[in-house]
Chains A and B, each alone.
Chain A
Amino acid sequence: MSFLADMQISLIVLCSGLGLILIGLWGILTQRNIIRMIVGFSLLDTGIHMVMVSIGYVTGGTAPIINDAVPMAEATSRIVDPVPSALVLTAIVIGLGVTAVMLSYAVRIYRARKTLMIDECTESKW
């Protein structure tokens, strides 16, 4: 496992995130059950969030909070980029919102059609 040790930390997170995105997409594309598709979507979302966080990492940086641990004078050299962290917070909330709506769709689809299989919802076509 020495090559892992050689990898930059953020690259590991980045690659895991990208991997998670692929897994999520696999779920969306192959799982016929709508709930499972939503799980796939959550994985995809999480993967993206990991990618975002990894992008903000600065070698050797710490949390961007200016207090006793990180004095104001050293801030610029010791912290990681706060912007991706802020963005990821927003992205998480948005992902949550979308997931909630998706789940209520799932509930309603099951009510209306008595099935959760996406390939049984194909009456509109051509």
Chain B
Amino acid sequence: MIKRIVIFLVLVMLAAIFLNLAANYSEKTSLSPLAHYYAEQGPAELGAANLVTAVVVTYRGLDTLGEVTVLFISAAGVGLLLRRTRRKADDEDLEKGDRAEETAGVHKPASEIVETATQLLLPMVILFGIYVFLNGHLSPGGGFQGGAIIASGTMFLLLALPESHISRLMVAMTESLSGFSYVVIGVLGVILAGGFLDNRIMGLGTYGSLFSAGAIPLIYVFVGLKVGFELSAVLDRFRKEDTGPL
């Protein structure tokens, strides 16, 4: 109880600090010089209509590469933590064991409504995800958003058909290769354009069209695929863990 009071008092103090912060905050009425530059130069310089995308993919491209890395390592981390406890050293046996247990199954099947709806909606969800990451430079959205939508499709699938199998090989191939391609595009920026992650390694195209903004759509394709597969893999790992032996 005393502890609760202490926590309460400490948070009251923190609230006082926050209040001080809020009291001295006043809304901006004009853009910061940085934002001003992006608004003025962004469309011409990078050819992206969506300024957030221009900032995310190019101006702060290193952040985004880092972000992709974060997702990659958290997926790897989840995999490492939730790996099956090894009974045999041999990997091959493990894979087989995995499948055997999956087919044995402990999940209750989902209701028919969910199953049917999933079969109907899943292609659309995935298509929508692809649309979102392909149009990231033009409209709200982008690789992460698109990837997340694709992963929500996976979630759907796993809820409706708990027994469905997600190929680990395919996941690994996609996340590795798209990540690697992203790095290669970044390096090409150094060689063909102004610097690491410069999107102007290809023509900027017609402003406002699908094929514009240099390498941004390409990067977003890789990011979208990578995020989609990685999040799916994370979901899959949480599911598999549940059935795994102790």
Interface residues of A (CB under 8 A from B): 8-11, 14-15, 18, 21-22, 25-26, 29-30, 57-59, 63-67, 72, 75-77, 79, 81-83, 85-87, 89-90, 92-94, 96-98, 100-101, 103-105, 107-108, 111
Closest to B57 in A: A86
CB contacts (< 8 Å) of B165 on chain A: these are none
Asked if A75 meets B40 with Cβ closer than 8 Å, knowing A14-B25, A64-B50, A67-B49, the reply is yes
20 A-B residue pairs with CB within 8 Å: A8-B26, A11-B27, A18-B21, A25-B11, A65-B52, A65-B138, A66-B42, A66-B51, A75-B40, A77-B30, A81-B31, A82-B52, A83-B32, A83-B35, A85-B55, A86-B55, A97-B74, A107-B81, A107-B82, A107-B241
- Which residues 48-65 of B have a CB within 8 angstroms of A? 49-52, 54-56, 60, 63-64
Q: Within 8 Å CB of B180, what residues of A?
A: none
- Per the bound structure, the CA–CA distance linking A57 and B31 in Å amounts to 9
The answer to whether A98 and B27 touch (CB under 8 A), given A18-B18, A66-B49, is no
Distance between Cα atoms of A63 and B50 in the complex (Å): 9
For A14, list chain B residues within 8 Å (CB).
Answer: 22, 25
When chains A and B are docked, how far (Å) is the Cα of A97 from the Cα of B75?
8
Interface residues of B (CB under 8 A from A): 4, 7, 11, 14-15, 18, 21-22, 25-32, 34-36, 38-40, 42-43, 49-52, 54-56, 60, 63-64, 66-67, 70-71, 73-75, 77-78, 81-82, 138-140, 142, 144, 208, 234, 237-238, 241, 246
Task: State in angstroms the CA–CA spacing of A77 and B30 once bound together.
Answer: 7
A residues less than 8 Å from B30 (CB atoms): 58, 77
Known: A22-B18, A57-B28, A104-B237. 7 other contacts (CB 8 A): A8-B26, A18-B21, A25-B11, A59-B28, A64-B39, A86-B52, A94-B67
> What's the dominant secondary structure at chain A's contact region?
helix
Task: Looking at the assembled complex, report how far the CB atom of A96 sits from the nearest CB atom of chain B, in whole angstroms.
Answer: 7
Residue in chain A with minimal CB distance to B77: A101
CB distance from A115 to the nearest CB of B (A): 15
> Which among B51, B60, B234 is the interface contact of A100 at CB below 8 angstroms?
B234
Assess the A97–B71 pair: CB atoms within 8 A.
Answer: yes
Chain A neighbourhood of B144, CB < 8 A: 89, 92-93
Which residues of chain A are near B7, meaning CB under 8 Å?
26, 29-30
A75 to B207, CA, bound (A): 15
* CB proximity of B184 to chain A, nearest CB, Å: 22
**Min C-beta distance of A6 to chain B, whole Å:** 12
Cross-chain contact B18 with A105 (CB below 8 angstroms): no
